[in-house]
Structure 1
Amino acid sequence: MSEVTIRSPLLAAGAILFSVALLIMGNGLQVMLLPIRGGIEGFSAFQVGMLGSGYFLGFVLGCAFSPLFIIRAGHIRTFAALVSIASAAALGYPLAVDPLIWVLLRMITGFCLAGLYLVVESWLNDKATNETRGTLISTYVTVNFTVITLGQMMVTLVQPDSFVLFSIASVLVSLAAVPIVMTRSSQPPPITIVRFRPRHMFRLSPTGTVAIFLIGVATGSFWSLGPTYANAASSSVRDAALFMSAAVLGGALLQWPAGKISDHIDRRIVMIGLASISGLFGVVILLLPHVTWLWLALGVVFGAGLLPSYAIAASHVFDFADRSEYVEISAGLLLLNGLGSTVGPLLTSLSIELFGPAGMFITNAVVMLALIGFVAVRLSRREGLPEAEKENFDLGTAGAVSVVGDEEAVQLSDLVVQDPAA
């Protein structure tokens, strides 16, 4: 394959990736800002946890209903409408400082982000061929990791008790509409809607299905309450942002190596290894004295254990699936992970109420132990696939993204319907 062939879809998707960068940067700033500002306003740990659960509940609902909007109005109009709503929501927080209102605003934001991601990922898949999809989606995932870190660090620009940071978040989200609305690129074909078969997914891979839910519990807790812990532990907004960014960096660095290792050994063993790293180093963070450079280094290792886990678990499920099932499984795994992410912040916030900020890592350790235990039991009951029978690790399939635009998978699937009433 020539270099030009590989670059072409990247160039064609440039406007889309730029929109994604602005969108996720604005959301990353809110992910960091809201728990810290909530603490300043006197919100309890449970109320801050509800903000995270509200976001992920909205995200799950968005996954279910936003395809209907895309079918009705098209990709560009849906994107513009959802961006406008998400931008307005970002300005609502300082105007109405109330936990219940903030939860509602986070639900609205989650709903909008689910639809926006669906539009973007459909568009990216449409621009890619089967040969270049992996490269394009890997670039998309890399952009995600990079710009969410930039968004988190923006919390250090101004004091978090001011209106300014919310305004910056709103501006970034609003600007995300410009590259999409002004693009000369053709819209993707009509969105596909799939029927979910959760029982079938569990029968296909009990390990991967349960792991995806538990990973959602852990990652949802990290995104929702990590800033609360980091700010309390360091008493510094700057250090809290650095800690969260260090964890994201760790996840980005280990994502691809962990996937490639799992191509050559049982992916379940890799899952156990990652869960062990996440659980163990979370506890180590609590036990060692707070020295900033050491704390950040441990954050890198903690993130390296936690954040790549989704792709490994998803790859394990896809190893047992037919190509015709990829659309259904991709959507089902995202939904299941979102449900776990909805539950996680509530459980972790209760733990924080009991044990203080350390409760975040205590809950994470318990969830990781549950994951390790379940996977170990499954290892004793089912032989791993030989290396030759595995699908090669591919973020284009295993990443937390949709494959609704994968033309071959769509055409093969008997679960895809174009008519929402079907």
Structure 2
Amino acid sequence: MVDVVMANKPNSPLVPVLGLSFYAVASGFLMSLVPLSLVANQLTPALAPWLASVFYLGLLFGAFFIQRVVAVTGHRLAFIGFLLLLLATVVSQILLPYAWLWLIDRFIAGIAVAGVFVVVESWLLMADTAKQRAKRLGLYMTSLYGGSAVGQLMIKPLGVEGAMPYLFVIALLSMAVLVPLLIKRGQPEQQQSHKLRWQQLKNLSRPALVGCLVSGLLLGPIYGLLPVYIMQSEYAPKTGLLMAAVILGGMVVQPLVSYLSPRLNKCLLMALFSLAGVFSLVGVIYAAKVELLVASYLLLGAASFALYPIAITLVCEKLALNKIVSATELMLLAYSVGSVVGPLLAAYITTSNNGIPWYLTACLATTCVYMLLTAKRRVPDQDSPVAEL
């Protein structure tokens, strides 16, 4: 793995945020469209967890070499390249709806999405001050989750059958490509690079690594299996609305995360959000009214999407600028491992009608206990070995 270091010349967040916004709408819609369109494409619904896991396997695989690509091409060209690669997989899914090819497409899509994440995160986090990095991270998360929520709302008007939904995704990805293609200024400059070793994983904050791992264990099934769970329930016509509520919850909680993160022990903060997630799932399982169900999914999204930014902040605080991309890359690996295992684990251990909610409850409850025990031991928010990266 390679770490790209920014020169003193400042970079602008315009291109990554604007391009990410178009990408997020497309991606939010696509993540639900893929499992929901299986039957319409004469594919078995049993393929859904495998498509989700192979996507995150691609995300994991891509994290090993993306920084090398960025080091050679620069952020702008890498951004364009990864978006085009993702677009090509969507075209392939439309033209050739075969199970084996969709698995390959989703694996390649995972690599492309890993590229988008690393390019955008490093572009935004390579700022001069910690305050700027925190502000840009909040902007990044808001754009990502806000766009994803809008994408979920497209399920009802566009449907999940035929080519039209996929053509909508292609159009949005094309617009995302145009942003860095037309705006050529504002990217960080590469100055030097160095390799990282696997042994350096042990030097990162363990609670931060657990937070990213659990985030993957939660979000993998939420994106890949939760739409199918809702579609098979009595609330099937409201699948898009409920999925949008999940992601909207992830968006609206970001300012709260940014406010509380420097004021509370981050392990305690992750424990509190995990506990909130447990309560939300009680509502998901037992809610008798649609309004309460929407509120429960909103809270579920807030709890699930809060863990990753808190963990990233935990590992990056007081970290030298030229160490940030290395740390975030390793955290992406932890998140990817959880995302690969999560959908398969959820599909394997959940056989009841409310299997997915009970799986998510188990993950959040276990995380809550772990983080409370860690906070009780007063583990510092910044582990000193991180500086050795």
Indicate whether 1:245 and 2:244 are aligned. Answer: yes
Equivalent residue letter for 1:104: I
Contact 1:87 1:171 in 2 (8 A): no
Q: TM-score, normalised by structure 1?
A: 0.79
Specify every segment of 5 or more residues in structure 1 that has no aligned partner in the other structure, as ranges: 1-8, 392-411, 416-422
> Which amino acid letter does the alignment assign opposite residue 352 of structure 2?
F
Task: Give the aligned partner of residue 313 of structure 2.
Answer: 315
SS of 1:176's partner is helix
Mapping for residues 102-181 of structure 1, pairs under 5 Å: 102-125=102-125, 128-130=127-129, 132-181=132-181
1:262-273 matched pairs, under 5 angstroms: 262-273=261-272
Overall identity of the aligned pairs, in %: 21
Q: Which residues of structure 2 form unaligned runs of 5+?
A: 1-9
Amino acid at match of 1:57: L
Distance of 1:85 and 1:324 partners within structure 2: 28
Aligned length: 376
Query: Does the 8 A contact of 1:279 with 1:361 survive in 2?
Result: no
Q: Does 1:355 align with 2:355?
A: no
Distance 1:141 1:215, change over 3 A: closer
Q: Which residue number in structure 1 is paired with residue 217 of structure 2?
A: 217
| Residues 194 and 328, structure 1, Cα contact 8 Å, conserved in 2 | no
- TM-aligned CA deviation for residue 164 of structure 1: 0.4
Deviation at 1:168, TM superposition (A): 0.9
Q: Which amino acid aligns with 1:372?
A: C
| Partner SS, residue 301 of structure 2 | helix
Specify the code of the residue in structure 2 equivalent to 1:307.
F
Following superposition, the deviation at residue 39 of structure 1 comes to: 4.7
After superposition, residues 11-50 of structure 1 pair within 5 angstroms as 12-41=12-41, 46-50=46-50
- How far the C-alpha of 1:212 sits from its partner, in A, is 2.1
What is the distance in 1 between the residues matched to 2:19 and 2:324? Answer: 26
Q: Could you give the per-residue CA deviations for residues 124-163 of structure 1, whole angstroms, max 9, x where no partner exists?
A: 456x442533333322221112111111212222231111
- The code of the aligned residue for 1:363 comes to Y
Contact 1:48 1:349 (8 Å CA) reproduced: no
In the alignment, residue 336 of structure 1 is paired with which amino acid?
A: A
1:328 and 2:326 matched: yes
- CA distance 1:195–1:343, shift in 2 (3 Å): farther
Contact 2:24/2:145 (<8 A) preserved? no
| Superposition deviation, residue 85 in structure 1 | 2.4
Deviates more, 1:82-91 or 1:69-78: 69-78
Decide whether aligned partners of structure 1 residues 133 and 349 sit closer, same or farther in structure 2, where only a CA change above 3 A counts: same
Cα separation, 1, equivalents of 2:261 and 2:16: 31
User: What TM-score, normalized by structure 2, do the two folds share?
Assistant: 0.86
- C-alpha spacing 1:192/1:251, structure 2 compared with 1 (3 Å): farther
Contact 1:39 1:228 in 2 (8 A): no
Deviation at 1:113, TM superposition (A): 1.8
> Structure 1: which amino acid aligns with 2:138?
S
Q: Secondary structure at the match of 2:352?
A: helix
SS of equivalent to 2:378 = coil
Decide whether the 8 Å contact of 1:16 with 1:120 is kept in 2. Answer: yes
Distance 2:101 2:165 in 1: 18
Pairwise CA RMSD of aligned residues?
A: 2.9
Structure 1 59/322 Cα, relative in aligned 2: closer, same or farther at 3 Å? Answer: same
